[in-house]
Amino acid sequence: MEDEELLHAEVRYFNSRLSEVIEQRTRNSNASKILSDALNYIRDTGGKRLRPIICMLAAEAVGGSREKALSTAIAIELLHNATLAHDDIIDENYIRRRNPSNPARFGAKNAILMGDLLLGFACEMLAECGEPEVVKVVMNALADIALGQYQEFTLRLRDLNEVTERAYMEVAELKTASAFMASAEAGALLGCSGEIELENLRNYGKNLGVAFQIQDDILDICGDPAKTGKPVGLDIKNRERTILVIHALNHSSDVDRAYIEDVMSGTGEVASSDIERVREIFINSRSIKYAIALSKGLILDAKSSLESLEDTEARYKLQLIADLVAMRIEEQAHEDYLRY
């Protein structure tokens, strides 16, 4: 409980500073209603704020200051939420963090504009860091996220049996891990780290981010909506080539494999009964167990990347974040789906 409170305190600190920035911006007479709505939506719907907190802690872990990293941390959170707004339009996702998603609340056209406005405001905040290399790192991550989204979308169009675990990992690294990597790397640069510390923090973010994506895949089919704040089976409805699908195709009976291929290659609406049946196949093929083990291994790798850093409270909190991510499945999944 004490460890949890340490991280809760970090979230409260960041939310407080984020609110200050939002209030200052929305008080400006030039601030439009659509930008105010977008910023207030970010503030009110919350989230774990993992990426900006990683940025601040990485700076502290190498001897720097969280204050110096704050504007970059806020920029990263704004960028993250901008990509979520666009992602929810692409995936037709109507629930986010137990609330109506941005496009569900404001409409798809407004959500596109809100995402663009958040990107612009994020660039303003990022420029305040005064470090061109940090700007480059974060902007490269934004490009990688977009590329990852595109590659994920194109995987849906490819023959199911052509999609490999390697292709999945490439998408996961671009789409999800790049933001974690940029957070850790930007913080390390602002803290004036050495090259070894920089590389280790980059690897921490990479492994943590890929693990996070794998867990998202698991929770999409096994999660409790009351805990995850998301509907179940959206990946199946969108015919995503997740790690679970890829593993099950290679470890199922001919009948079950044919069923997955039929569901994932179809063009009509996926029924709830299809989602339930695909989940059964994931359980029987031990694909869920495989994905959980894969994510746990990546989290252990993330934690081992921190061992070269000095033993500070910031390093300890980065380890706690990895532990927090490791507990997502147990805390948010239906227990019945994990017993097999």
Helix axes 195-222, 50-61, angle to 10 degrees: 160
Q: For the chain, where are the alpha helices, taking DSSP H only?
A: 2-27, 33-45, 50-61, 66-91, 102-106, 108-127, 132-157, 165-172, 178-190, 195-222, 225-228, 234-237, 243-250, 254-264, 272-284, 287-304, 313-326, 328-332
> Locate tokens 């070894």: which residue?
196
Q: How far apart are CA 277 and CA 287, in angstroms?
A: 14
Partner residues linked to 99 by β-bridges: 96
Q: How far apart are CA 266 and CA 260, in angstroms?
A: 10
Query: What per-residue confidence (pLDDT) applies to 100?
Result: 85
Partner residues linked to 95 by β-bridges: 100
Question: How far, in Å, are 138, 151, 179, 268 from residue 158 at the CA level?
Answer: 30, 11, 26, 17
Q: What is the DSSP letter of 270?
A: P
Q: Going residue by residue through the chain (340 aa), what tens digit of pLDDT does each one get?
A: 588 889 999 999 999 999 999 998 888 656 688 888 888 888 988 788 999 999 999 999 999 999 999 999 999 999 999 999 998 888 788 778 778 888 888 898 998 999 999 999 999 999 999 999 999 999 999 999 999 999 998 888 888 888 999 999 999 999 999 999 999 999 999 999 899 999 999 999 999 999 999 999 999 999 888 888 788 899 999 999 999 999 999 999 999 999 999 999 888 899 999 999 999 999 999 999 999 999 999 999 999 999 999 999 999 999 999 999 999 988 888 777 776 5
Helix axes 243-250, 254-264, angle to 10 degrees: 150
Q: Which amino acid is at 261?
A: E
Q: Which structure tokens are listed for 141?
A: 């991550």
Query: What per-residue confidence (pLDDT) applies to 158?
Result: 82
Q: How far apart are CA 68 and CA 170, in angstroms?
A: 32
Query: What per-residue confidence (pLDDT) applies to 101?
Result: 86
Q: What is the DSSP letter of 212?
A: H
Could you tell me the residue range of the domain that residue 99 belongs to?
Answer: 2-338
Residues 6+ apart with CB under 8 A from 149: 83, 86, 87, 90, 175
pLDDT tens per residue, range 112-163: 999 999 999 999 999 999 999 999 999 999 999 999 999 998 888 888 888 9
Q: How far apart are CA 145 and CA 154, in angstroms?
A: 14
Q: How far apart are CA 75 and CA 129, in angstroms?
A: 10
What is the reported pTM? 0.94
Q: Which of 232, 234, 213, 179 is nearest to 295 (CA)?
A: 213
Cβ(246)–Cβ(327) below 8 Å: no
Q: How far apart are CA 210 and CA 202, in angstroms?
A: 12
- In angstroms, how far is the first alpha carbon of the chain from the final one? 29
Cβ(59)–Cβ(190) below 8 Å: yes
Q: How far apart are CA 305 and CA 290, in angstroms?
A: 23
In CATH, what number is assigned to the domain containing residue 71?
A: 1.10.600.10
Q: How many domains does the chain have?
A: 1
Query: What per-residue confidence (pLDDT) applies to 2?
Result: 80
Give the long-range contacts of residues 295-300, CB within 8 A, separation 24 or more: 295/211, 295/214, 295/215, 295/218, 295/326, 295/329, 296/211, 296/326, 298/207, 298/208, 298/210, 298/211, 298/214, 299/207, 299/208, 299/211, 299/323, 299/325, 299/326
